[in-house]
Amino acid sequence: MTAAMVENDQASEGRPWDYLLQTWRELDVPEGWRAEIDEGQIALVPPPHAHHNSIAAKVQRRLYRGLPEELEIYQALGVHVAPLDKLYVPDLVVMPSELVDGADPEASDPMDASDALLVVEITSKGNARDDRTKKYRAYARAGVPMYLLIDRFDTRGATATLFTEPNEDGTYKRSDPAPFGKPLTLPEPFGTTILTEEFPV
């Protein structure tokens, strides 16, 4: 189903978000692809480049070094940004495992983004602007305490930036950028350092 078809049928199904979510649940997405809800439409995101996956694996390995037992790292986990009725599938999400384990086994509902402690997005050539703007604002509005944006396509050079202290206006008060080659320290509960020098460029 295309995004346009979803948009045209909303009026007959009551609240647009409910219809979009039901459609999202029923989609048969090709392996490796992700379906997200943004701007009142469902968008399919193609599988990322091998370098993208390599960076995700290296970040995940670093995060596990100091991760408390009650937290877990998830790939391809849908998160609902309730204030904006958006649904994203970040590259990595850190969330209390009891919330994910306790989810309804009969439903494929997304988790609430406000329960995430950290969201990681790694830009691809086609979606870098969304990660820098739409998703940045959405995660801040949801109150996600840490947003790690790994931007291989930053015009100033490949950079990893940790955004913290979210505002309700959709911004983060603090940003700590690290050009590739420089370490980036994540505060507690992670207490680890991301070694960007390991990332393929």
Query: Which of these ranges, 4-13, 78-87, 167-176, has the smallest mean pLDDT?
Result: 4-13
| pLDDT, position 4 | 35
pLDDT tier at 194, thresholds 50, 70, 90: very high
* Phi, psi angle pair for 49, to nearest 5°: -65, 160
Whole-prediction pTM value?
Answer: 0.90
Characterise 115 by phi-psi region: left (phi > 0), alpha (psi -120 to 50), beta (else). Answer: alpha
Instruction: Tell me the sheet residues that pair with 37.
Output: 42, 87
Give tens-digit pLDDT for 115-164.
999 999 999 988 899 999 999 999 999 999 999 999 999 999 999 999 99
Helix, strand or coil for residue 141? helix
pLDDT band for position 38 (50/70/90)?
A: very high
